[in-house]
Copies of this chain bind each other. A is one copy, B any other.
Amino acid sequence: MKILNIGMIGFGTVGTGVYKVLQSFKNINIKKIAVKNINKKRNVENFDEKLLTSDAYEIVNNPEIDIVVEVSGGTDPTYDLLKTAINNGKHIVTANKELLAKKGSELFKLAQEKNVVILYEAAVAGGIPIIMPIKTILCANKLTKIAGILNGTTNYILTKMAEKDLSYETALKQAQELGYAETDPTGDVKGFDAAYKIAILASISFNKKIDINKIYKEGITKITEQDIKSAKELGYRIKLIALAQMSDKGEVDVRVHPMLVSKKHLLAKVNNATNSVMISGYPVGDLAFTGPGAGSEPTSSSVAGDILVLASELEASDKPIPLYVRNQTEIANQIDISETYNEYYISVTASNNPGAIGVAGTICGNNNINISTIMQKGINEDNTAEIVVITERSKESDVQNALKELLNTDCIKKINNLLRVMN
């Protein structure tokens, strides 16, 4: 049995979880752990504090270390640390979605040159096995679509808003109190976290480089109680969906935004902090992977899984495993959201006059938008009314034009929200 020496960067929630899980595997030896504060009390039984160092370069430059496990997050100094580790011939296991989404292609290229592998199951969807299935058992497929709930915080907030008729602000506050949302929730609620994850999934599914800056991102901060209520009445739930699609022509459409999801759709039934990833391709058809998307224990399952798979492979051969070294060389032809086609939910406040719906209908028609459902919700005190419309499949740029024209009429007072729809 080959014993592998592990150097770990980071020893927070995930790091301590990984440490605990790996204790029972005799072929894995945790040699060194880099932390910011070496004097902090660690909640780990029988822990030898001599393992700790405050200098992460001590790990990436240590010739005895075979695998660097990075669970510290961020890009600085992590990017430089991992580059140094790869240059020193070490394999990498990381949970760092931001680093991979921003600097993945540089790291994968370097890893290929240096004959090492980078595994990162924990970077997407926590404990759900998704990266390794795509890279291994699904590799005969041409994958064309991924649609997922990839952020547990926002799914928790949206679930509570729907279950308990809470406003976004109240639901966020409760999520923060319960530890489901961070004090600064920006990364989650504005869609950054989900964007990193869908960028990673799209890059391995389509085998192309994805530019994170070209991903359209819209968070959940503008979802109102009224939107949730209208969606319910129309047979939908509102979810933050990360989407990646590749057309026959090779156009790649990657984006993150809230969607009305038909209550019959599997993703509508994924609640609280649970994540779910749907993958479609040929010949497999449609698959869904559901489970815990975050937390110490599920994430440590994925980090430890990567380490043990790597250990098993290195037991058989010193060469890197071709399937795991997928260095995307081709740049994806990412299209702008304005070029995409979607069904839409449009909520407007209209003046209560008999012509309003006619005017709105004409503007929609002139912009090639067919309306499939229209619902007027009572009349307000100021003699306005909320009108909610679901459109047939229309082009985003046409819808944006129609909204501008609607606002220029007398009868439409306000666009309350525009959301896309998944049936």
B-contacting residues of A (Cβ < 8 Å)? Answer: 17, 21-22, 25, 121, 127-129, 131-133, 136-141, 266, 269, 281-292, 295-298, 300-302, 304-309, 312-313, 315-317, 319-323
Write out the residue numbers on chain B whose beta carbons fall within 8 Å of the beta carbon of A17. Answer: 283
Q: Is the CB of B312 within 8 A of A140?
A: no
Number of copies: 2
Q: Which of B137, B269, B289, B317 contacts A287 (CB 8 A)?
A: B289
Write out the residue numbers on chain B whose beta carbons fall within 8 Å of the beta carbon of A21. Answer: 140, 283
Q: Is the CB of B290 within 8 A of A287?
A: yes
CA distance A289 to B290 in the complex (A): 6
Chain B's nearest CB lies how many Å from the CB of A45?
Answer: 15
Q: Which of B138, B292, B301 contacts A141 (CB 8 A)?
A: B301
Write out the residue numbers on chain B whose beta carbons fall within 8 Å of the beta carbon of A288. Answer: 288-291
A–B Cβ pairs within 8 angstroms, 30 of them: A17-B283, A21-B283, A25-B140, A121-B137, A127-B283, A127-B285, A127-B287, A128-B287, A129-B138, A137-B302, A137-B309, A138-B301, A138-B305, A139-B312, A266-B290, A283-B296, A283-B301, A283-B304, A285-B297, A285-B298, A286-B292, A287-B289, A288-B288, A288-B291, A289-B289, A289-B290, A309-B323, A315-B322, A316-B317, A317-B317
Write out the residue numbers on chain B whose beta carbons fall within 8 Å of the beta carbon of A138. Answer: 129, 301, 305
CA distance A305 to B138 in the complex (A): 6
Task: Select the residue from A137, A292, A307 with max chain B CB neighbours within 10 A.
Answer: A137
Q: Is the CB of A292 within 8 A of B284?
A: yes
Q: Is the CB of B317 within 8 A of A284?
A: no
Q: Is the CB of A297 within 8 A of B282?
A: yes
Write out the residue numbers on chain B whose beta carbons fall within 8 Å of the beta carbon of A316. Answer: 313, 316-317, 319-322
Q: Is the CB of B139 within 8 A of A308?
A: yes
Write out the residue numbers on chain B whose beta carbons fall within 8 Å of the beta carbon of A308. Answer: 139-140, 323
CA distance A286 to B313 in the complex (A): 27
